[in-house]
Amino acid sequence: MHAAGLIVALTLSGSVVCNDSPLPGATVTLATPRGSFTAVTDATGHFAFQAIAPGWYCVESELNGLERAAIDVEAPRDGSGIVLRMKPPISDALTVSAFGPHALQPINITKELIDSLPVRGGFHPSPKP
């Protein structure tokens, strides 16, 4: 609150990136005591929320095909220049294809098979269920 009893309205802004490239079209959600508000990033990955009161907020971004990113920020200290860094999803599936005279049949390499491979000269079998 301002010294004269007026409420100070701030702008909370930033950008959403993946591998340091801007992400246009990402949905950004601002969680406040009054509820949640959403914005969509522009062509440069930028977003802004207007008329925000000083305090702590959670800002989260999401875009299909990427992992969500979230950060807690304090307005006005962190009011501009917020960067939400999204990442491609982590996959635990690996497909390997081989062709030639020795490729008799396809094989599905699972996480369990990879975990049972010799590591650093030793053998570490996967635990049995």
The Cα angle at residue 127 between residues 121 and 129, in degrees rounded to 5 = 160
Q: pTM of the entire structure?
A: 0.63
Each residue's pLDDT expressed in tens, for the chain with a length of 129 residues: 444 555 677 889 999 999 989 999 999 999 988 899 999 999 999 999 998 888 899 999 999 989 999 999 988 776 678 999 999 877 656 666 656 555 556 667 777 877 777 765 544 455 555
User: What's the Rg (C-alpha) of the chain?
Assistant: 23
Classified as helix, coil or strand, 116 is coil
Indicate the residue type of 3. Answer: A
Domains of the chain plus CATH, in order, are 10-86 (2.60.40.10)
Q: For residue 68, what are the β-bridge partners?
A: none
Q: Please give the pLDDT value at position 1.
A: 44
In 3D space, the residue among 91, 90, 84, 68 whose CA is nearest the CA of residue 21 turns out to be: 84
